[in-house]
Amino acid sequence: MPSASRKKLTQQMELFNYSCRAAGLKITHQRTLIYRELLQQPDHPTAEALHKRIVREVPSISLDTVYRTLATLEQHGLVNRIQTAESQARFEAVIAPHHHLICSCCKKVLDVEWPEFDHIELPENVRNWGTINSKNAVMYGTCTACAST
Amino acid sequence: MPSASRKKLTQQMELFNYSCRAAGLKITHQRTLIYRELLQQPDHPTAEALHKRIVREVPSISLDTVYRTLATLEQHGLVNRIQTAESQARFEAVIAPHHHLICSCCKKVLDVEWPEFDHIELPENVRNWGTINSKNAVMYGTCTACAST
DNA sequence: TTGACTGCAAACGATTTGCAATTGC
DNA sequence: GCAATTGCAAATCGTTTGCAGTCAA
């Protein structure tokens, strides 16, 4: 790993530790492993995929803990759960607002920024509905890799 | 039911029959019931909710059939599956492009039109990713009903 | 020390599936 | 009549939970 990204990772982990303390969460070995792995994986892994990777380093970690940790971190806004039409949920570390591009074929999820979307006004009738906390765009299609096969 | 909407329903059911035939799907009593119920329910029911309602009319229909039918209709683009962070999937008859407003509290899903969104250009980097078939916006918030309690 | 966290195993709930009977075309 | 579809029951799969031991603070 280039030293620049290693440094960034360290910073993000420090922020994670800080957020945990602020939320009253203990900083356990497992939580650290899970969050670090999530930061390093750009591919929105499922709980199972995450577990498989971490087990290589720490064979004793259990899948339940991965699930439980992700749920806890999600509750505290440190992790996002992405529900697609697939059976399994996917996760990502919360970094910056962005949107998702999902390949209907291989189910891979790609992050995209879309400032034009972030800035447009909400539809009118939303106002009397209540308060919006977040809005998100999801695009479905076929990626070039799948299209070429 | 006012006669106008009854007439509309009949039209939609005729379209359904037509689409089934076009897709090579047999028009069974159960499929008709399920699709009609879905058309009449504006609240994006879950498979179970749908089943509960239909059982009143036809006690012999099984939950499996509801699941199977929804999956079949979804494959043929007659029904949309809406996956939220909830455990259960919700369904809607495909009518016109629209977007979703989800209350984080009561989990109810409301349809909204949002032509401004439909018309904005896709983010740039999407073009080299592949082909987009559809795009959809989801907004999360708290509805006034939940906020007032 | 002490309550939060973990691993284990068992439970859970939504959805799917194999099979024999039934039904639409 | 034949293939598609259904109902039934059992299986599956992702995820959650109870409990006793362990660990961070």
Q: What are phi and psi of A58, to 5 degrees?
A: -130, 90
How many angstroms separate the CA atoms of A28 and A30, rounded? 5
Q: Cβ contacts (< 8 Å) between A99 and chain B: which residues?
A: 123
User: Residue B30: which H helix or E strand, with range?
Assistant: helix B29-40
- Clarify whether residues B68 and B130 are in a common domain: no
Contact yes or no for A30/A71 (Cβ under 8 A): no
- Clarify whether residues B87 and B114 are in a common domain: no
Considering all CA atoms of chain B, what is the largest pairwise distance in Å, rounded to the nearest integer?
53
How many angstroms separate the CA atoms of B31 and B70, rounded? 9
Instruction: Tally the domains of chain A.
Output: 2
How many angstroms separate the CA atoms of B1 and B3, rounded? 6
Last residue of a domain, one of B49, B78, B95: B95
- Clarify whether residues B25 and B11 are in a common domain: yes
- Clarify whether residues B13 and B73 are in a common domain: yes
Place A101 in a pLDDT band, splitting at 50, 70 and 90.
very high
* Nucleotide nearest A83 (Cα, C1'): D14
* A123 and chain B in contact, CB less than 8 A: yes
Confidence (pLDDT) at B86: 83
Domain containing B138: what range? Answer: 96-149
- Clarify whether residues B70 and B1 are in a common domain: yes
- Clarify whether residues B102 and B43 are in a common domain: no
A64 touches strand C (CB under 7 A): yes
- Clarify whether residues B78 and B105 are in a common domain: no
Place B106 in a pLDDT band, splitting at 50, 70 and 90.
confident
Contact A142 B123 (CB under 8 A): no
Q: Which of residues 11-70 of B touch strand C (CB under 7 A)?
A: 26-29, 46-48, 63-64, 67-68
* B142 and chain A in contact, CB less than 8 A: yes
Q: Is the pLDDT of residue A94 over 90?
A: no
Can you give the CATH number for the domain in which A125 is found? 3.30.1490.190
Residue with tokens 């992700």: A70
Least reliable range by pLDDT among A3-7, A122-126, B29-33, B95-99: A3-7
Q: Which nucleotides of C are covered by protein (CB under 7 A)?
A: 4-10, 13-18, 23-25
Q: Name, of A66-70, A82-86, A137-141, B101-105, the range with top average pLDDT.
A: A66-70
H helices of chain A, in order, are: 3-23, 29-40, 47-57, 63-75, 115-119, 144-147
- In the structure, how many helices (H) and strands (E) does chain B have? 6, 5
Tokens matching residue A58: 């720490």
Can you give the CATH number for the domain in which B30 is found? 1.10.10.10
Q: Cβ contacts (< 8 Å) between A101 and chain B: which residues?
A: 126, 129, 132
- Clarify whether residues A71 and A89 are in a common domain: yes
Place B25 in a pLDDT band, splitting at 50, 70 and 90.
very high
How many angstroms separate the CA atoms of B105 and B145, rounded? 10
* Closest residue to B141, CB basis, from A89, A99, A131: A131
- Clarify whether residues B60 and B128 are in a common domain: no
Confidence (pLDDT) at B48: 97
- Clarify whether residues B85 and B113 are in a common domain: no
Residue nearest to nucleotide D17 (CA to C1'): A64
